[in-house]
Structure 1
C-alpha cells in the first residue's frame, strides 16, 4: 500500500515538474521577460517587455493597415496608441502567423517566416558559441545582442541601426574614419513601415579638421532641408527661438577624426523625435491628460525652410508676401520665371568682380571688391571653416579670388564660401551677419558736383508734389475709414481674451486692394464661383505672382455682415493648425468686405461625401483620416489655441479638403471666443445650421464645447454612411434615429456606405458609430470632450461606454402647456440666422 502511494506520489510530482517546465518554455514566465536566449525564442504572439515596462518588443501589424502583414519591432508599452520606434524586418514582413524571432546557430538574432525562411538577421560575426548569446530589451528602447562570455559585451544593438525615431540616449552621427553614418529613415507611409524616401542626420564632412556639423533631411539623397551649422550651443539657421528652445538638451560631440555624434537627454522616456513619411521631423511628447502625442516643434517649419527655394544668391523671408528676393548686387537670372514665382534659377551678378576683370586681359584694372553686410541671416550651405579670428576672416576671403562670402560666429569662428551661395534666409532672430563679395561699382556714391546739380531739381519737385498733395486732400471727399475702424473693433473684441503679449497685430494682416481681387477672380465671374455660404459667394482666384486663392465676398443680401467678417478675422488670424484653413488677408473698400484664404482644390467634404460618383474616392481609410483630422482641428480650437473658441457651425460643407484629402475646418464667422476660465455661455441669438445644432443650444441658447461635440457626432455619422442627416431612412427615420436603431439591434456596421464597407474594418466602423452616438447624446455632460473622442478613436482595445438616448428637443408653447419631445435631427431645413 505504501509502495503504491509512493509510486503515485512520484508520478504526480514528475508530471507537475514536466508541466512547469512546459509552461516555462511556452510562456517564458520562468525567465526574464526582457530577453531572448538560444532556448527561448519568441513566436507570433509572444513579446518582450523592458524591466521598467517602458518598451515592448515583438510582432505587430501597423494601425489602419490594409493588409495583415506582420513586422518585428519595438513600441511604447504603456501608451494606448500604438507607437512603433524601431522595425527589424521593415522590407521583408511575415505574411502569416508563422513568424519567429530567435538566436540562430551562428549566434545572430534572426527573424524567420514559414518554412524557416530567413527574413532578417543582425548579420554580425559572433566569436563564441550561439548558446552563450542573448538579446535584451532595455528601458532606453535599445535592443542589444550580448556576449555572455565577455561581460555582456554588445555585439549588435538597434541604437546603431536607427529607423524613423530618435530616442533619448540614442546617437546620430558620422565617422569619416570608419564610414559609419547613423541616420533616421522614414516609413513609406503611416501604414507601411518599409523603407521610405526620406532620411535625416548629420551631414558628413570631407574636411574633418575644418568642419562643423549640420542637421539635414534628404529625399532620395538630395537635401530638402538643413538646420544651419552648429555653433556649440544651437543650430544657427533655425527660423525662430521656439525651435531653438525645443532643442534644449541636445549635445554634439566632435573629435579631430571627423566623428560627429548628436544625442539628447530628457527626463521623460515619453519624448522623442520622429521622421515622418512626408519628410518632416516632429518633436513629440506624450500628454497624459489628452492621452495623445503632442507636437512641440517640427522641421521644416516654414515655406522658406525648403532647401534652395530661392536658387543661387536668392534669399528667402517667410515674413514677406513675396518670399524670395535677390540679395544686393544681384538680379533675377530670368525675369519671366521670377515674376511667375519660379525662383529655382536664382540670381546673377549685376557687375563683375575685380578678380573676374583681372582674369580678363581686355578688362584689367579697377578698384578692389568690397563686401555688403546682410544681418540676421541663415548662412548658405557648403561653407569651409577657417581658424582665423574675426579680423583676419575678411582678409582671407578678399585675398582669395574664388571666395564669394564670409561670416564669423564665436562658436564656429570663420566661415568661407566659394561658388554660388545657396539656401539663404533673412530676418532670423538667431541668424548671424553674412558678408557677400560685390564689385566696387555697387558701392559708388555720386560726386559733389552731381549732388549740387540734382539737389535743387529734387527740391523743386518735392515742393510741387507737396502742393499737389495738399490740393488733393482739400478737394477729396472724406476718406473711407472703414479699414481703420475695423481694426480698432477687432482689437476691442479680443482685448479681454488674451494677454497683451499675445495680441495679434491686426494692422499687419495683409490688406488686399479690391481691384487686385477683382482681377484675380476675373471680376468675380460665375466661372470662378466655387461655393456659397451664409456669408456670401466664394470665388477661386489667382494673384499676379501665381498664388491661387479663395475669395469670400460679403453679400449685401446676406443675413450676416461686418460683425461676422470681423469675428472671422479676429478668430482665424490667431489660429495656425494643419487642420484649419489659413487666412491670407482681407479687403475693406467702400461697401466691399472680402476675406482671402488659401485655395483648397478639392473644395468641401460634402461635395465628395454626398455625390454618388465622388464618394467612391473616399475609401474607409480616407474617411477615418478625415474624421481624425477634424477632431484634431476642433481640439486645437477648444484647448490648444491661444483663444478658447466654439465654432458653432461645424458641418460637412465647412470642412475643406486639400490635394491629399486632408480636412481643414473653415468658416469662423459664427465662432464664439470664450474667456480662459469660461466653460459655458448663453445667447438669445441662435445661429448655425439646423440638423447640426445641439438641443441645449437650439432650445435654450446654451453654448459650450459640447455644442461642437454634438455637431461633430453628426459629421461622424454622415462620413460613415455617406448620407446627409436630413436624409430619410426606413420608417421615415432621419440619420441619427436610424443609426440609433441599428445600434440597438447590434447592426451598427451596416450603417456604413456600401462602397467602403469591408469585414476587415467592421470593428473600426462599429467603434466610430458608437463614438458618433456618444457625441449626439441628449445631455451635454454625457457627451465626451474632443480629447476623449480622439483617445477613443486611436485606442483599439478599450471598452467604450454605451451611448444613452439620442438627442431630443423639448418643444413648449401650446395653449394647454403640454409638451412633446421631437428629435432635433427631424428638422431637415438648413438655414442660418443673423445675430
Structure 2
C-alpha cells in the first residue's frame, strides 16, 4: 500500500515540475532560480551568490533565518561565472552540476561508483539539512551531503572516519566570509593513537580537544554522542529541542564556534568558541611543558622537567620546551607518580592504548617499563569508574589544566623529585590542613584589624575635611580613590598605578604610542610588564576643566560594570600628573569607522545593528540598571569605543552627572557637550535629563545608518536630521541608507524601523521622546506599532551660541576624547 502510494506521488511530481517540494526527480533538472525546501522548510537547496560577487554556487542554507547562512556548498572550489548553471543526473546516476545545459563535463558530482538503479533514483533534502541520493522505493541511500561537510556541522551530522571505506568527515573553513573555497583550517578526528579532535592550520595542529573521557571531549563543555568501534570513530552533535536552530562551524580565522540563532535578536549568538586563551594554542608550552591559565605563572614544566632555555622563558618564548632535570634513566628504587587533576592530558596521537586493563594495572605496567613516562585512564564509564590505559613513552605535548573538566594524569618521577614535590607541592594532608586553619585564623585577625583601621581612618578623614579648606584647583585624593558609596556606608578603593609603571608601559609617553587627543588631554597606548595592553588618558596641564572632569570620571566609571561601558583599571596621581588607566580597545572609536569610507565598508548592516543595540543597552544601564542614575551628557560617535569583536563601549564620563533618588532632571548655567548631539532644552536653556541622552542616541542611530555626521552634513541649510526628516515626510527615507551596505541588507524594513526610532528620539519636545527602556523594547517590535515622529529639533541649520566648538575637529578621529564646549543659554 505504501509503495503504491509513493509511486502515484512520484508520477504526479513528474507531471508537475522538476522538483517535488523536497525532492529532485531522476528525469528532470534544476536551473538557476529553482529551489527545493526540506520538510518544515527549515533548509533550502539551490543556486546562490555571496555579497557583491557574481560567482554562483550550489548549496544548502537556512530558509528560516533572515541572515543568509550557508551550511554546505557543493562546488565550493568550482564556482560558475553566470546564471547558466544546471543541476541534473548523469547517465551513471550521479547528481551533477554543469556550467550550462549543453556542457557534458560536470563542475561537481556526487561521484558514486557503485551501480545505481535509474527509474526510482531521487535526491531529497531531509528535515535535518542533509541532501541524500537514494532509491525512492527501497529507501537505500547511495550518497549524502552529511558525509562531505564543508565548514559547518549540523545536529545529527557525524564528524570522523569509517574504517571500512576510509571515508573521513572533516570540517574545512572558508577562505573568507565572501569566498566558500577550501580555506586554511580543518577540524578532524585524528586517526593515529587514541582518538582526539584536532583543529589544523594547513598540516600544523592549531588546537585540540584532548581525548574522549567517556562523557565528553576533554576541555569541551557541550555534550555529544561518541562512537569508537571496529567500524568507525565519530562524534555527533545532538539537540534535545528540535525547535532550536544551532550549528558548529570552523571559521576562516581559525576558531571553532558553536552558534544558536536568536529569532528575537535576528542574529547568531556564539555561546562557545575555541581557541580563546593562550593555553588553548597547541603546544604553546613546547615539549613537556604545562599550562595553567588560572596561575600567575601560566607556563611551567611537568614534574621532573625544567626549561630547556630558561632565558627564553623570561621573554615568554616557550618553544624550546622542557627537558628532564635528572638526565639519568628512570627505573630506580622508590620511584613514584605525581598526580594532576583536571588535566587535558598530552597529545594522545603517540600514546599507547590498552582498553582491557584497569587503572591500577596500568600503573604497574608503566612502572615495569623503563620508557613509560606517564599514564592515565582511557575513559570513564560513568558510575562504573575509570577504564582502559593510556601510556606515554616519549616527549609529551600540549598539556594544560582545566577548570571544570579534564581527567587525572600521572607523571613518573624519581625519588628525589617525588620528595621535592611532596615537600613543595602537596605538603601532605596533615600539613595542608594545618596551613589552611592557620590561614583562616590569620585572615580573621586581619579582617578585625582592617575594620578598626578603616573606622579610625573614616573618622580622621571626616574630621580633616570638616576643618580643612583645600586651595582652588586641588582635591583630596582620599575623596577620589577611597570613598563611601551612597547607600550602605561601604567603602571602595580604586587601584593606583605608579608613575614609573605608566611611563615604562608607554615608553615614556612616546608620540608613536599616542592614540588621540581631546579637551582632557592626550591618550596613549601602553603595555604593562605582564603583557596587558592599556589606554592611558593623561590630564593636560592646560586644561581649565580637566581636574573637575578627572574627579568626576574616576568617581563614576570606576563603580560601573557593564559589557557596553569601557572598563577602568585604575588611575595615577603623582607629582603633577593625573592619569586614568583603561582597558585598551584596538578598534578605536566609532567615528573612525562610520565617518571614513574605507573603514565604513567593513560595517555591514548586522554589525551596525549590533552596535546600535549595544549602545542602547549601555545607556539603559546608566539610566536605570546601575546603582546610580547617570546622565552622560556627551554621547557621540567619538565617545563610543570598539573592542576587538566590534562590541561598543561607552566612554568619557567627564561631563556626566549623578541623579539621586527619584530625580530625573537638572539644570546648569554652563552647558558642555558637542553641537549636533545636544538636545534643544539643554543647548538653549541648560536643562538636562535622561531625555537629553535619548536625543544624543537618536542622532547616533541616524549617523550609523547613513555614515554621515549630523553637524557636518548640510544641504539647503539643513543638517542630517533635517534632511532625513524631509525625506521621511516624502516617503523617500530609504534614500538615506548608506550605499556601502545596500548589498548586506536582507530586510530593508529593519533599517527603516531604526530610522523611525532615531526620529522618535530626536523630537524637539523632551516629553515626546521615548525613554531608554521603551527604546530598547522597540528594537524587538514591529514598527507599525510605533507612534509617528514629530518635528525634530535643529532642522533649520540654526545653531546655539557656541564659545568653543568641538575640539576634536570636523575630520579628526578621536580616541575617548573629551569635548569641552561652552554653550550659553538665550
TM-score, structure 2 as length reference: 0.73
- What does residue range 35-74 of structure 1 map to in structure 2 within 5 Å? 35-62=23-50, 65-74=51-60
Q: Which residue number corresponds to residue 262 of structure 1?
A: 236
Q: Which residue number corresponds to residue 373 of structure 2?
A: 404
2:186 paired with 1:216 = no
- What does residue range 563-642 of structure 1 map to in structure 2 within 5 Å? 563-572=552-561, 575=563, 583=567, 585-587=569-571, 594-600=579-585, 603-607=588-592, 615=596, 617-618=598-599, 620-622=601-603, 627-628=608-609, 630-631=611-612, 633-634=614-615, 637=618
Q: Which residue number corresponds to residue 516 of structure 1?
A: 501
Q: Alignment length, in residue pairs?
A: 717
Q: Which residue number corresponds to residue 185 of structure 1?
A: 172
Query: Conserved in 1, the CA contact under 8 Å of 2:95 and 2:110?
Result: yes
Q: Which residue number corresponds to residue 295 of structure 1?
A: 270
CA distance in 1, matches of 2:793, 2:732: 22
- What does residue range 160-171 of structure 1 map to in structure 2 within 5 Å? 160-171=147-158
CA distance in 2, matches of 1:584, 1:521: 17
Give SS of 1:394's match. helix
CA distance in 1, matches of 2:265, 2:749: 23
Query: Conserved in 2, the CA contact under 8 Å of 1:716 and 1:772?
Result: no
Change (3 A) 1:431 1:335: same
CA distance in 2, matches of 1:829, 1:560: 18
2:249 paired with 1:274 = yes
**Unmatched segments (≥5 aa) in structure 1:** 1-22, 239-243, 359-365, 449-473, 497-502, 793-797, 811-819
TM-superposed deviation, 1:307: 1.5
Q: Which residue number corresponds to residue 500 of structure 1?
A: none
TM-superposed deviation, 1:154: 0.9
Query: Conserved in 2, the CA contact under 8 Å of 1:397 and 1:404?
Result: yes
Counterpart of 2:353 (choices 379, 385, 409) is 385
CA distance in 2, matches of 1:494, 1:76: 51
2:126 paired with 1:138 = yes
CA distance in 1, matches of 2:486, 2:189: 48
- What does residue range 472-511 of structure 1 map to in structure 2 within 5 Å? none
**1:486-521 C-alpha deviation (Å, 9 max, x unpaired):** 89869x58999xxxxxx9x999x9875443222212
CA distance in 2, matches of 1:421, 1:566: 50
- What does residue range 432-447 of structure 1 map to in structure 2 within 5 Å? 432-444=407-419
TM-superposed deviation, 1:199: 1.6
- What does residue range 320-469 of structure 1 map to in structure 2 within 5 Å? 320=295, 323-355=298-330, 369-382=335-348, 383-387=351-355, 388-408=357-377, 410-411=380-381, 413=387, 414-426=389-401, 428-444=403-419
Q: Which residue number corresponds to residue 720 of structure 2?
A: 735
Change (3 A) 1:806 1:398: farther
Change (3 A) 1:716 1:758: closer
TM-superposed deviation, 1:27: 7.2
Q: Which has the larger displacement, 625-634 or 153-162? A: 625-634
Q: Which residue number corresponds to residue 758 of structure 2?
A: 775
Counterpart of 1:318 (choices 289, 293, 302) is 293
**1:769-797 C-alpha deviation (Å, 9 max, x unpaired):** 884464243254499956876999xxxxx
CA distance in 1, matches of 2:412, 2:308: 18
Q: Which residue number corresponds to residue 94 of structure 2?
A: 108
Change (3 A) 1:127 1:739: same
Query: Conserved in 2, the CA contact under 8 Å of 1:632 and 1:790?
Result: no
Change (3 A) 1:89 1:826: farther
CA distance in 1, matches of 2:268, 2:198: 24
Give SS of 1:372's match. strand
CA distance in 2, matches of 1:685, 1:216: 61
Give SS of 2:557's match. helix
Q: Which has the larger displacement, 684-693 or 538-547? A: 684-693
CA distance in 2, matches of 1:282, 1:260: 19
CA distance in 2, matches of 1:805, 1:622: 30
CA distance in 2, matches of 1:511, 1:27: 77
Q: Which residue number corresponds to residue 430 of structure 2?
A: none
Give SS of 1:515's match. helix
TM-superposed deviation, 1:197: 1.5
2:28 paired with 1:28 = no
Query: Conserved in 2, the CA contact under 8 Å of 1:81 and 1:292?
Result: yes
CA distance in 1, matches of 2:689, 2:287: 59
Q: Which residue number corresponds to residue 552 of structure 1?
A: 537
Query: Conserved in 2, the CA contact under 8 Å of 1:282 and 1:298?
Result: yes
**1:106-126 C-alpha deviation (Å, 9 max, x unpaired):** 211112223533221111135
Change (3 A) 1:237 1:570: same
Counterpart of 2:226 (choices 248, 252, 263) is 252
TM-superposed deviation, 1:555: 6.2
Q: Which has the larger displacement, 184-193 or 585-594? A: 585-594
Change (3 A) 1:823 1:621: same
CA distance in 2, matches of 1:188, 1:734: 42
TM-superposed deviation, 1:344: 2.6
CA distance in 1, matches of 2:567, 2:393: 41
TM-superposed deviation, 1:48: 0.7
Query: Conserved in 1, the CA contact under 8 Å of 2:608 and 2:705?
Result: no
CA distance in 2, matches of 1:34, 1:766: 30
Q: Which has the larger displacement, 700-709 or 757-766? A: 757-766
CA distance in 2, matches of 1:569, 1:273: 38
**1:378-410 C-alpha deviation (Å, 9 max, x unpaired):** 222124334442333333223323222223464
CA distance in 2, matches of 1:376, 1:325: 16
Query: Conserved in 1, the CA contact under 8 Å of 2:362 and 2:375?
Result: yes
**1:586-634 C-alpha deviation (Å, 9 max, x unpaired):** 2466687755445455643435665xxxx45326344657624523643
Counterpart of 1:227 (choices 203, 206, 209) is 209
Change (3 A) 1:635 1:545: same
TM-score, structure 1 as length reference: 0.73
Give SS of 2:279's match. helix
**1:566-593 C-alpha deviation (Å, 9 max, x unpaired):** 5334434x53xxxx68758324666877
Give SS of 1:433's match. strand
Query: Conserved in 2, the CA contact under 8 Å of 1:108 and 1:124?
Result: yes
Change (3 A) 1:282 1:107: same
